[in-house]
Amino acid sequence: MQPVSIRLSRCGKTFPDGTRALEPLDLDIGAGETMVFLGPSGCGKTTTLRIIAGLEAPDEGGSVTFDGVDVTPLPIEKRNVGMVFQSYALFPNMSVAENIGYGLRIRKRPATAIRQRVGELLEMMRISPLADRRIDQLSGGQRQRVALARALAAEPRALLLDEPLTALDAKLRDVLRLEIDGLLRRLGITAIYVTHDQAEAMALGDRILVMDHGKVAQIGSPRDIYQRPASRYVAEFIGTMNRLSGQPESGGFRTAGGLLPWAAAPHAAREAWFRPEDTALADAASAPLSGSIDAAFFLGDRTRLFVSIGNDKPLVVETAERREFRIGETVGLQVDASRILAL
């Protein structure tokens, strides 16, 4: 199977009731790439996926091409894409094997070829013993594997996954995330993965498209998005961000807790943004910043502290120090100046 490259141009979506689900979007997805659409519910990520799948038509003027061929007028059944739905959409009237073989049956493959391919997929997903089970006899994780196998059986040109892990509990999500990652790398298939879970997006995506209210907030590699978020929205959506308000002055950034040594602070900056992992406890006497402990959570290997400085939201700091922290205690903080962003 040859992975396909996908291009969206000017793809917008306005629903009949007038709501704009998606602002016109241009996007290139390379052959064999795993692209993650990330954002909160209602941001337009599922709509975009459904336009690529052929379940929704883009507004007038938009087009979808697969390997340069315009597929906009084709309904999903003509696009040869594999799709995994959030609720799996397994057919309750068919067994596991019949579900997996359905796409091949539609393509009128001979029965022996179907049986063989279904066997391969059952093996690949490690669910061979379930072949004759009814769908309502399966657990959530098993259903997820059947749905993946079914989507892959007919060797689709692209695999589209719509929040495939959302319905599962946290532990199982971790296991399956790893499996899906391995599967996508091994198959080298073009994959589009929709999720609202940033950890999933970071783990799976070659690139991530962060969406906000039907618009692109940022597009880039997980590293880019995390380390150089393009906006406050992206910064706050991905991971945790500390924010400290103040004024730039010579030699740093004046805050309620002291002078932050941020020489590169832009003239107009009124807030400094930095990650918890770039923030560390320091000796209160010599540290540039000081604040008081609002709350302390002992996590076992480390302690998470909430330190309040002035009227800002408490900063999150994690430390491996083994001592006990008292609420109200004054602590010193230092921040890796090269990691501070203005946003």
Query: From the CB of residue 56, how many other CB atoms can be counted at a distance below 10 Å?
Result: 19
Compute the Cα dihedral for 325, 329, 335, 340 and give only its sign: positive
If the CB atoms of residues 3 and 246 are measured against other proteins, the closer one turns out to be 3
Residues 6+ apart with CB under 8 A from 3: 31, 32, 157, 158, 188, 189, 190
CA–CA distances in Å: residue 71 to residues 11, 66, 107, 164, 282 = 13, 7, 19, 25, 59
Please say which residue, 76 or 316, places its beta carbon nearer to other proteins: 76
Distance CA 267, CA 247 (A): 9
- Judged by CB under 8 A, does residue 151 bind other proteins? yes
Nearer to other proteins, 109 or 243 (CB): 109
Q: Which residues contact 137 (CB under 8 A, 6 or more apart)?
A: none
Q: Which stretch binds other proteins (CB under 8 A): 164-172, 180-188, 214-222, 273-281?
A: 164-172
Q: For residue 219, which of 33, 64, 74 has the smallest C-alpha distance?
A: 33
Site string for other proteins, 229-268 (x = CB under 8 A): ----------------------------------------
**89 near other proteins (CB under 8 A):** yes
Give the interface size with other proteins as a residue count (CB under 8 A). 40
Binder of other proteins out of 25, 138, 209, 341 (CB under 8 A): 138
User: Which phi and psi (to 5°) does residue 156 adopt?
Assistant: -70, 160
The encoded tokens of residue 150 equal: 């079914």
Binding mask 1-20 for other proteins (x = CB under 8 A): ---------------x----
Residue in this structure with the two tokens 């618009």, named with its chain if needed: 215
Select from 35-43, 102-110, 182-190, 192-200 the region that touches other proteins (CB under 8 A): 102-110
Determine, following the binding rule CB under 8 A, whether residue 44 of this chain makes contact with other proteins. no
80 binds other proteins (CB under 8 A): yes
Q: Which amino acid is at 278?
A: D
By the rule CB under 8 A, 126 interacts with other proteins: no
Closer CB to other proteins, 81 or 337, in the complex: 81
The H or E element containing residue 171 is helix 170-187
Interface segment toward other proteins; rule CB under 8 A; list 87-95, 223-231, 273-281, 299-307: 87-95
> For the chain, how are helix, strand and coil distributed in percent, rounded to 5?
30, 30, 40
Q: Contact, 191 vs 213, CB < 8 A? A: no
The residues near 166 (Cβ < 8 Å, ≥ 6 apart) are 86, 195, 196, 197
Please report whether residue 284 would count as binding other proteins according to CB under 8 A: no
Distance of closest approach, residue 262 Cβ to other proteins, in angstroms:
47
Give 69 or 299: the residue with its C-beta nearer to other proteins.
Answer: 69
- Residues 6 or more apart in contact with residue 249 via CB below 8 angstroms: 259
Amino acid sitting at position 31: A
Scanning the structure block, which residue is given the tokens 């996908």? 6
Least distance from other proteins to the Cβ atom of residue 136, Å: 5
Binding test (CB under 8 A) with other proteins, winner from 136, 283, 301, 324: 136
Cβ proximity to other proteins: between 43 and 147 the closer is 147
Q: Is 199 in the site for other proteins (CB under 8 A)?
A: no
Positions touching other proteins (CB under 8 A) are: 16, 53, 55, 57, 73, 75-78, 80-83, 85, 87-93, 102-103, 106-107, 136-142, 150-151, 154, 160, 168-169, 172, 175
